[in-house]
Amino acid sequence: MSARPTALVTGASRGIGAAVARALAPTYDVLLGGRDAEALAAMCAELSGARPWPVELTSVTGADVAGIDRLDVLVHSAGVMTLGRIEETPAEVWRRTMEVNVVAVAELTRLLLPALRAARGHVVLINSGSGQRANPAWTSYSASKFALRAFADGLRLEERELRVTTVYPGRSDTDMQRGLRAQEGGAYEPEKYLAPDSVARAVVAAVTATPDAHITEITVRPAGGSPN
Ligand SMILES: NC(=O)c1ccc[n+]([C@@H]2O[C@H](COP(=O)([O-])OP(=O)(O)OC[C@H]3O[C@@H](n4cnc5c(N)ncnc54)[C@H](OP(=O)(O)O)[C@@H]3O)[C@@H](O)[C@H]2O)c1
């Protein structure tokens, strides 16, 4: 059996989650969450100690976490971005956004609580600047991220043996941002966005804090770029 600690990262097939998995892999055996089996296999080939954890998070069950008895770090990075003014956002879009960004996070955390408690583990939630302030036409996404912040705060209060960190990144250079810029009708300017690895470094800072320090929130914005 491995003596290394274990981390589970959702959304590890690409974007910020993949960068977090890469940043944790030198120290942790990483379970890579995502639905794209090929992408997960490629990540596994790259990272020693990594294993795929293929799952559709909106229908996660106890069977998906069977065998995970001890978990040192759980990083929730999987998420969806939904753009649209309130007048053009029907209930099904609200439900889908909340399902992935909030309900799935709550359910996966609940299922893994025994394993997290066993390790006195750390839960990291990748939130967004949109979880700190609403923007026009981003309301459903923003509401889901405000809810995610409340979930993190409640978890921290209820599970005093765990550490719970919310990370609020600004615009980051990923598929999600590419899709968002296309919908906004704006140029894609990666040099103005955060590199996914810069967000991953914030996650590493939280999970490697000294034992007396509980880093509860980290805000990261692109240097010299948009305050959003
Ligand atoms: N990019 C930004 O500018 C930005 C800024 C602030 C905050 N964030 C937040 O950062 C997090 C990561 O975003 P990103 O930019 O890395 O996104 P991304 O490139 O679009 O990747 C999204 C990841 O989430 C996974 N995922 C989505 N829905 C899922 C589901 N139902 N079941 C299982 N996995 C699912 C995807 O897996 P598959 O490969 O299987 O689809 C993928 O790995 C999100 O929570 C996002 O809200 C992003």
Give the span between the Cα atoms of 52 and 78, in whole angstroms: 15
57 lines ligand 1 (CB under 6 A): yes
Q: The dihedral of CA 217, 164, 18, 178: what is its sign?
A: negative
Print pLDDT tens along the chain (228 aa). 568 999 999 999 999 999 999 999 999 999 999 999 999 999 999 999 999 999 999 999 999 999 999 999 999 999 999 999 999 999 999 999 999 999 999 999 999 999 999 999 999 999 999 999 998 899 999 999 999 999 999 999 999 999 999 999 999 999 999 999 999 999 999 999 999 999 999 999 999 999 999 999 999 999 986 555
| Known catalytic residue at 168 | no
Q: Which tokens is 78 given?
A: 């999987």
- Cα-flanking dihedrals φ and ψ of residue 162, to 5°? -95, 160
d(CA 154, CA 177): 29
What's the CA gap between 142 and 138, in Å, rounded? 6
Spans of all domains in the chain:
6-171+195-218
The predicted structure's pLDDT at residue 226: 59
CB neighbours of residue 61 within 10 Å:
10
Structure tokens at 17: 């989650």
Instruction: Give every CB contact of residue 59 below 8 A, 6+ residues apart in sequence.
Output: none
Nearest atom within ligand 1 for CA of residue 35: 40
Distance between Cα 100 and ligand 1 center (Å): 10
Kindly give, in sequence order, each residue whose CB lies less than 8 Å from that of residue 92, ignoring residues fewer than 6 positions away: none
The predicted structure's pLDDT at residue 176: 94
What pLDDT is recorded for position 211? 94
State in Å: Cα 16 to ligand 1 middle. Answer: 7
Kindly give the distance from the C-alpha atom of residue 163 to the centroid of ligand 1, in angstroms, as a whole number: 23
- Cβ–ligand 1 distance for 80 under 6 Å, the answer yes
Q: Does ligand 1 lie within 6 Å of residue 11's CB atom? A: yes
- Residue 164, beta-bridge partner list: 123
pTM, two decimals, is 0.97
Q: Among 3.30.930.10, 3.40.630.10, 3.40.50.620, 3.40.50.720, what is the CATH number of 6-171+195-218?
A: 3.40.50.720
